[in-house]
Structures are given as C-alpha cells and as structure tokens.
A and B are shown apart, each in its own frame.
Chain A
Amino acid sequence: MRRSLRLVLALALFAPATPWPVGAAEDKLVIYTAYEENELKTFWEQFTKDLPDLAAKAAYIRGSTGPTMARVEAEKANPQADVIWGVFNDYLTGAAAKGLLDAYAAKESQAIPARFKHPENLWQGVTLLTVAFAVNQKKMAELRLPPPHSWADLLDPKYKGHIVMSNPSTSGTAYLLLASHAARLGEDKMWQYYETLDRNLSQVTKSGGAPGRMAASGETPIGIALAYEVEVAKKQGAPIDVIYPTDGIAWTFESNALVRGAKNPANARRFLDWAVSKSAMTAYAAWRGAGITRPDVPMGGQKILDMGLINLDFVKAGDPAYKDRLVKRWLEKFSR
C-alpha cells in the first residue's frame, strides 16, 4: 500500500500547473502559421533572438493552409489565435470577407510595395513563392524517364504512377495551382487537364510541402512542389532538380494578419511589427532567397517577378464562393 502511495505521489508531478479550467485572458500570444516546420524553425529562432520576452509567452500551431484557416473560422465565436502568420493571401482575402480579421498596418510595412498588401491593411505580404516540378534525378534515371519541361509534358502516359500532387481542399499550394490553371486555360479546359493528369498521379497528399519532400527522398520521381523548398533540398544534397514549367509558373505570396477578437491584441501587434521587420525578412531570405516582399532588404537569386508567371487574379481566387465551387468540384471528381 505504501508503495502505491509513493507511486501516486510521483504521478501527481505530472499534473498540469494550471488549475482547471485554464483561464482565457492571460498574457500570451497564440500564432497560427502555415510555414513548413523546417523553415519555421529558422524563423522562430530569429524571433526568439529579437524579442525573447514575447517569444517566451508565445506558442504556435502549424498546419496546412486549409485546416489552419478552417480552424480560425470554426473558432470565430471564441478565437484561440491572435495572429495568422505566413498564410497564402487568397485565403486571408477570404477570411477578411468572412469578418475574421482586423485591420492593422504593421510598423515599417510602408516599405512593402502596395501589390503585396490588402488595400485596407487586413493583411500584409511577406514571402513570395512559385510552384515548380521537383524531379529526382536518381529515380528518373532508374526508370529511364526524360524530365518534364511543361505542364503539358506531365500528361504523357509514360509518367503514369510517377507524379505526386497535393489536395486543394487541404493544401494552399494545390488550390493555388487549381486557380492558376483555371486562369491559364479557362475553367473547362482546366478540368480536362486535371482529368488527364489524374491518370498519372500516384498519390495526393494533404500537405503542399509533402510532394517536394517525397521527390527529394525518392518516394516519388516527380512531385509538384514549392520551388524554394526543392532548392533548399538540393543545397542539402538531395539528388533533385527544380524545373520551372515553360508554359506558365504559378506563384503567390504569404501574408500576416491580426485575428478579429484576439485575446492578446497588444502582443499580436508587436509580433506583426516584427514579422515585417528587416531582421525577420533576413530570416525568411535564408530559406526563400529572393522571395521576400521588402525590396530594401538585400537578396540574391532569381527575382520571382521577372519569371514567366501565370497572371492570376488573387482577389477572384480568394473569393470564398469561387474557391468553394472549384474545391468541391475537384473533390467530387478526384477524391476517392
């Protein structure tokens, strides 16, 4: 019996420090983000270095773009997040239309060109990205496949079972592609394109980052991925190439926003100020190269805006009704 008592006492150590139930209004900072874990680690370290007092009170939850924004919407009555960080601007436009965001012009945000900011400052863009093909050279050599160079090439039956893409209902990247192809081809031809492409897909992942990492590790020869992620994997030694499609590059930028009804608005504003600062931009550049929105921060590499981009209307793409229609149609056609 005494033995058991000792055990129970030991167990009591595991009990949470906070009393039941946890009070809502404390001095905290809750950040929802869609940045990938690996880059997020670098960004978070910079944040901790620059603002240690705020970082000590801060916690983040990371998820794919879709789930993260769905969560913000679900929590509308009792918001858990204070800040949204690094989420595709079209999702934030949709969230703004649903009244989930409050306007805030971060300090120094005047350094960001107007095209990367919401006209009423409901969000401000920080990082740019493009979508490209991640091609594993080793796997391609094994399979004796030539690399694809355009979206049209991907339809070739020789790639059957060798392409991985992500799911537009959960991944911001995949939705961006869907909307971009719709802009490039028109909606009807876009569905035809997806119909044919579907025959070549081996897997459709939840997260937009997964296809690139799967190509890097050899799980798939070809992944449709964020270009900068593939560049990073290549630098780290993965046998992988980035191929930008010649018939149009899908691109977008990620933005930050203040959640309406945030429980810690002062902390949230402080974080948003930091998130557009030169220091934060430098941290972003460690992963994104030239893909940042502040021209006054020196950066190397190819400027995204000079590439052969698909002309996507971000406001239209962000319209919840439009997005809902495209995604539902995609699910009905391609989710098994």
Chain B
Amino acid sequence: MDEASGAPRSSLTSPSAVPASRPSLQRSPLQQTWLQLTAAVAVAILLLLLAFVVWPVLRVLATSLAGPEGLTLAHYAEFFSSWRLVRILVQSLLVAVVSTVITVAVALVLAYAVTRTDIPGKRFVSLMSLLPLISPPFLVSLAFILLLGRNGVITQALHLDWSIYGFTGIVVSQVFTFLPQAYLLLANVLGNIDVSLEEAAENLGAGPLTTLRRVTLSLARPGLASAALIVFILCMTDFGNPILIGGRYNVLATEIYAQVIGMSNFAAGATMSVVLIVPCLVAYLVNASWVGTRSYVTVSAGARAAARPMPPALRWPLFVLSGGVGLFIAVIYALIPLGSVVRHWGGDWSLSLDHYAFASSAEGAWPIWNSVRLAALAGTIGTVVALVTAYVVERTRPPGRRAIEALSLLPVALPGTVIGLGYILAFNVPPLLLTGTIWILVTSVVFWKFPVAVLAGINALKQIDPAIEEAAISLGAGTVRTFARVVLPLLTGTAFSIFVYFFINGMVTVSAVIFLIYPGFNLGSVAILNQVENGYPGVACALGTIILAIVIGSVLLLRALVGGDRVAVLKL
C-alpha cells in the first residue's frame, strides 16, 4: 500500500524532485516516519503482550514446577495422588459438561425460534438474552438464592426441606448466565443458512422435521460445535457462580482461590491452574483449527433471516418455550432490585431503603466508585491499545504480526483465576511492581478481555474498503492524515463499542480481580460476594442494582451521545 501510494503523492507535490528512474521508491520523510512509527508500535504491542499475557502464564507454570532444588513434578504428583483434588477436577469437568449440553440445547431452540420461525415476541427474547451479557456473572446465582435458597421465596412457600446450593445450583445458574453467548452465536449461524435450501428440501417432498434434521441442523453443525466449545470454556473457568451457590461443591476455579488466598499455597494454586488451563486450551485449539479463531461473532445484533411460517404443532411449543425463557430471565433480573428494597428477605417482607445505607460494612458504597474508576480506566486504555493492535495486525502487516494476533487471542482460553494468580506472581516483584496499585487491576481487565476487543477492531477495519484510504491518498492526503481523517472517524462506532465492552467488564468482573484488590481498594463486584457470604443478601442486591444501573445507564448514555446503533454490545 505504501509502495503503491508513494509515487502519485510525491509526483503531485514536487514533480521536479523525483528522478525519473526510480519514482516508486521515493518516500516522503513523513511516510518514512510513519513506517518507522508503525514498526515501533508493533514492537511496543508485542512487548506489552509478552509482559501482560505471556509472562504471568509463564510465572504460573514456573511456580507449579518449582521445587526446593530446581524443577520438579512433585506438585503434580501430589495433585493426582490426592483423592480430594482429583475429585474436584472430575466435579469441575462434570459441571462444565452438563451445563454446556443444557445451555447449547436451550440456546439452539431459542435461536431457531427467533431466526427461522414467525412466532410472536421475538424481540423480547432477543432483548432479554442480552441482559446477562452486561451484568455481573453471578447475579443469576444471587437471584436463585433469593428464589430457592434456604430462605428463598419458593423454598418457604412450599416448605421445602431442600435448597439449591451445590451441583444443581451451579448448573442452573451457569445455564442462564451463558445462555446469551450460545444463543447469539447460534442465532448468527442459523440466520446465515439460506432459506432456499430448506424450501428446496420441502419441494422435493421432505417433511418439516426431516428438513430440520437433515438440512438446517446439518448446516448448523460446525456452529453448534463451536458454541459448545466456547460455552464449555466459560463454564469450566466460571468462578462467581460456584463460589456463591456451590455450597459444599467445589470446582477447580474456586479451589485455586482457596489455596492461594486461604492458605497462601501458591505452588498448589499454580498446579491446579495448569490443570485447569489444559481442558480450556484443548477446547480453544480444537475450535480454532476447526472453525478458525475468528469464528466468534463479535457484533451481537441478533441475526435475522427470512422467517418461515411454521406448522402450529411446532409454532406454539416453540413460542411457549422461548417466551418462557425470556420471561424467566426478566424475573431473575427483577429479583435483584426487589431484593434490595425488601427489609429482610425470607423474614420481614416490608419495603425499606435501609440496604442502600450500606451500614453493614465500614467501606460503605466506596467499592462501587472504585469499580467505576477501574472501568473507566480499563475502557480508555483498553480501547486505544486494542484499536492500535487491530490496525497494526490488519493494515500494516509488520513482521511478527502473526505472533501479535495469536497472543492477543490467547486470553480466551485463560481462566480469570489463572490471570489473577499469574498477575500476583508476575507483578509483586520489580521491575514491574504493580501490586497495591490500580494499574494491576486495569492491566488485568484490559489484557484478559483483549481478544474480543481486538477481533472487533479487526472486523471493523475489514469492512472499511482500502479503496477509501487510497482515494484519500491519491487526493494528496498523506498516510498520517489519511489515518487521522479517514480511518479513525470510520472507527468511532467500533471504538465506543470496545470502550463499552471494557467498561462493563471493569464493572462486573470478579475472578481475576479478587486476587488483586488491595487495602482500601475493594471493588463493587467483590463486595457483592462478601455481602452474600456474610449473610447480607439485601445489601448484595443493593450493590448489584447500582452496578446494573451504572452499566445499563452507560450503554444507553453512550448510544445517545454517539448515535444509536453505532454502539453495539460485544461478547465472547
């Protein structure tokens, strides 16, 4: 691009200075600087990724292999010889597999109902399915505790001698937490299947069920596999739901936390981290080689394909099911604000705003303000770094570009607990002494959530025709000016979408940051966990309500400021 565009520009501005023999090699000093600049930026990004993605992971690996005298596999031997730890590994896999199967099955039905049929209320289902994407991942657990905990509405009404804590609680919460991700992926897959293929099948005499099985689902199979693998990773690495509603049922993600924070046993925590990474990395690589790393559809406008009329025998069950799921999600999220204004859930049902005084803790509502600061910083810094990375990867193609791309996407397979542990191990010693500062939190959010942001940037750049830039250049704009005046304005919508994505994650994330908070700097999401554990579900609901309000408010505000549909909700 630079080679080709060099000639016209220099010949237009200073024709006499160009020797006729080598017109295309001549570069203006500005362009030379631009080239050097992009090379320097590429190196800087590579260094950032090495420092904030590779180095923490290597520290975890090294810690799991470190013995009193050099390298040892003793920690792994200890892990696999402990009946308890092996059982926890099996329990983690069991929860993840069961949650994945149910989530993908329900999501498939929902996606089918919304994209391929003409049932009423599709917009409501689409809208509801977005809600879990922008809320703290464990609010679903909190809602289920309000419903089916030992003091839950249903538990009390039916005088149940049973409560949801444990395996059931984790699975049910994970299904509703990760349903949106699976739903949006599958809606996109189904939405892209050409209706005429189904019509052709029916014209050839196939019944609706045969068409569904042999045509639609066959075509959706790769997308289905991909959705299953991604949901599996999300369930396997989930921390918030198991710690809230797991009761006595432990999984690896929570056990790592117990080992490191509870017992200061870094070696055991690191070993479990590596054990936890393996299945996630396998799922990630299978997905990458099968469907390609870019299969995550990053912009989540619910796909809409030509809907076809359905036989009533199929239409109404589909309507009841998808409407029911949408309604249930609405109920789950209505429970959080409701729980925050009930004086004593399960005891005294009178209304009160007492919980908003945050009297149960000396830190009051400060953690929320800290979360906002973290989210704003992560949003601003993350957006700049992710967009620059996307530009370098997609447009300038420097040497080492493949490495930058691969490292940017790697965190998809990294559990938050592993990021948290890795950051403590990597950054509590010089030269990068970040523990006890807000920057360790900011970098953890930015680089853990990096993949989706970079992919969104790359996708947006792909949609900008290079011809537009070439046109600007041939009109004499110069590369720097073209970037600033042509490319950047076209990226504004994407930039705000990425900002919102980082901002939301800064507000709601818990698994990585729970390792990294420091004296006097607690976060809203972690405070919710503490309040539930301490037996103040009402206060937890109040904190959750404020966080939800801030997140939804900021999305709406940005959309109003920058203009409607240019700000999308990104997801993994």
| A and B interact | yes
List residues of chain A with CB under 8 Å of any chain B CB: 1, 3-4, 7-8, 11, 14-16, 18, 20-22, 30-32, 36-38, 40-41, 44, 59-62, 64, 66-67, 70-71, 73-75, 77-78, 80-81, 142, 161, 167, 169-170, 201-207, 209-210, 213-214, 216-220, 327, 331-332, 335-336
Cβ of B376 under 8 Å from chain A: yes
Q: Which residues of B contact A74 (CB under 8 A)?
A: 264, 266, 424
Interface centre among A204, A220, A331 (most CB of B within 10 A): A331
Q: Which residues of B contact A169 (CB under 8 A)?
A: 258, 262-263
Q: How far is the CA of A207 from the CA of B379 in the complex (A)?
A: 34
**B151 to A41, Cβ gap below 8 A?**
no
Q: Which residues of A contact B82 (CB under 8 A)?
A: 332
Chain A nearest CB from B11 CB (Å) reads 31
**A7 to B561, Cβ gap below 8 A?**
yes
List residues of chain B with CB under 8 Å of any chain A CB: 82-84, 87-88, 91, 149-151, 159, 161, 163, 165, 247-250, 258, 261-264, 266, 344-347, 359-363, 372-373, 376-377, 379-380, 424, 428-429, 433-439, 489, 492, 496, 518-520, 522, 530, 533-536, 561-562
Chain A nearest CB from B271 CB (Å) reads 15
Q: What would be 22 A-B contacts, judged by CB atoms less than 8 Å apart?
A: A3-B561, A22-B436, A38-B360, A41-B359, A44-B362, A60-B362, A61-B519, A61-B522, A70-B262, A70-B264, A73-B264, A74-B424, A201-B248, A207-B533, A209-B535, A216-B535, A217-B344, A217-B347, A219-B149, A219-B535, A336-B88, A336-B248
Q: Which residues of B contact A20 (CB under 8 A)?
A: 437, 439
Q: How far is the CA of A336 from the CA of B159 in the complex (A)?
A: 27
Q: Which residues of B contact A59 (CB under 8 A)?
A: 519-520
CB-contact partner of A14 in B150, B261, B372, under 8 A: B372
Q: How far is the CA of A64 from the CA of B258 in the complex (A)?
A: 12
**B87 to A11, Cβ gap below 8 A?**
no
Q: How many A-B residue pairs have CB under 8 A?
A: 148
**A336 to B264, Cβ gap below 8 A?**
no
Smallest Cβ-Cβ distance to B165: which chain A residue:
A203
**B379 to A80, Cβ gap below 8 A?**
no
Other CB < 8 Å A-B pairs besides A219-B151, A336-B249, 8 of them? A18-B437, A37-B360, A60-B362, A170-B262, A202-B165, A205-B533, A210-B533, A219-B149
Q: Which residues of A contact B536 (CB under 8 A)?
A: 213
Chain B nearest CB from A26 CB (Å) reads 11
CB-contact partner of A37 in B258, B433, B492, B534, under 8 A: B534
Given A14-B373, A21-B434, A71-B264, A336 contacting B250 (CB threshold 8 A): yes
Nearest first, the 10 A-B pairs at minimum CB distance are A59-B520, A213-B535, A70-B264, A14-B376, A61-B519, A37-B361, A41-B362, A170-B262, A22-B437, A30-B519
**A203 to B428, Cβ gap below 8 A?**
no
**B248 to A204, Cβ gap below 8 A?**
yes
Given A41-B359, A80-B436, A335-B84, A203 contacting B535 (CB threshold 8 A): no
Interface centre among A30, A216, A335 (most CB of B within 10 A): A335
Smallest Cβ-Cβ distance to B376: which chain A residue:
A14
Smallest Cβ-Cβ distance to A68: which chain B residue:
B261
**B492 to A71, Cβ gap below 8 A?**
no
**A61 to B263, Cβ gap below 8 A?**
no
